[in-house]
A = this chain, B = another copy of it.
């Protein structure tokens, strides 16, 4: 609930290796550096690896192995694993161990239903509570996306990241910290995991852009009811799109 302000594409200032700076030879006890614990860095690094598929979905996680790999103690690693569990990125069983979650069609569709509910509400609240600054940022973002669309007309369009920006900003504008935390700090990591690994570059190109545009207009007009309806429809359309795609594959 704390980090309400938070940029879309990974605030964390850590790159590949979790152990920032000089990597090795830690005699024993060399804790927190820069107001960030070792467990924090392990968590961020592992989260990235899981979301982007470098640690395969469904694979087992060995504590001793990972601890060696990161040159950390099992204790710190364990703390990171527990945080991953609270994001539902891994599952742990007592005395058995941890596994990365599986990606299932059902799981994906369930996420869409939850997003429809929460982001619909976020959109309504954004229309009611948005600050002047929110309005400026939303409009700027839309212009930026429009330019990108002009440029890459016909191609994959709008990287998934563009879509992420959009949803992220609107949720921020709701000014409901619980909602922001639930979506941006919890659910979206799983959403990204599905996007990365099932590689869903939405072919809904400028249709999605037009929908985004209308939603922001409703927010600007302060029409919460309309904003919610449009957002829910937008997400449901995306869900239908995926649903068709999946049923074709099988």
A127-B95 Cα distance, complex, nearest whole Å: 39
Q: How far is the CB of A224 from chain B (nearest CB, A)?
A: 11
Instruction: Please name the residue on chain B nearest to A116 by beta carbon.
Output: B121
Query: What are 20 A-B pairs with beta-carbon distances under 8 A?
Result: A1-B88, A32-B95, A35-B94, A37-B94, A78-B79, A79-B79, A79-B82, A83-B86, A86-B86, A88-B181, A113-B125, A113-B178, A113-B179, A114-B178, A114-B179, A114-B182, A117-B117, A117-B121, A118-B118, A182-B182
- What does the 1/0 interface line of A218-233 toward B look like (CB < 8 Å)? 0000000000000000
Instruction: Please name the residue on chain B nearest to A79 by beta carbon.
Output: B82
Q: How far is the CB of A117 from chain B (nearest CB, A)?
A: 4
- What does the 1/0 interface line of A114-138 toward B look like (CB < 8 Å)? 1011101100010000000000000
Interface of A is mostly: helix
Q: Taking A117-B117, A118-B117 as contacts, is the C-beta distance between A94 and B40 under 8 angstroms?
A: yes
A182-B86 Cα distance, complex, nearest whole Å: 11
Verify if A111 is at the interface (C-beta below 8 Å from B): yes
A2-B93 Cα distance, complex, nearest whole Å: 11
Q: How far is the CB of A241 from chain B (nearest CB, A)?
A: 20
Verify if A110 is at the interface (C-beta below 8 Å from B): yes
Query: 7 tightest A-B contacts by CB?
Result: A86-B86, A117-B121, A110-B178, A117-B117, A110-B176, A82-B82, A37-B94
A165-B231 Cα distance, complex, nearest whole Å: 31
**Which residues 81-123 of A have a CB within 8 angstroms of B?**
82-83, 86, 88, 91, 94-95, 107, 110-111, 113-114, 116-118, 120-121
Verify if A146 is at the interface (C-beta below 8 Å from B): no
Which of these, B2, B91, B121, contacts A113 with CB under 8 Å? B121
Given contact pairs A82-B86, A86-B86, A114-B176, enumerate 6 new A-B contacts (beta carbons under 8 Å).
Answer: A35-B94, A35-B95, A110-B178, A111-B178, A114-B121, A116-B121
Verify if A36 is at the interface (C-beta below 8 Å from B): yes
- What does the 1/0 interface line of A64-80 toward B look like (CB < 8 Å)? 00000000000100110
Instruction: Please name the residue on chain B nearest to A82 by beta carbon.
Output: B82
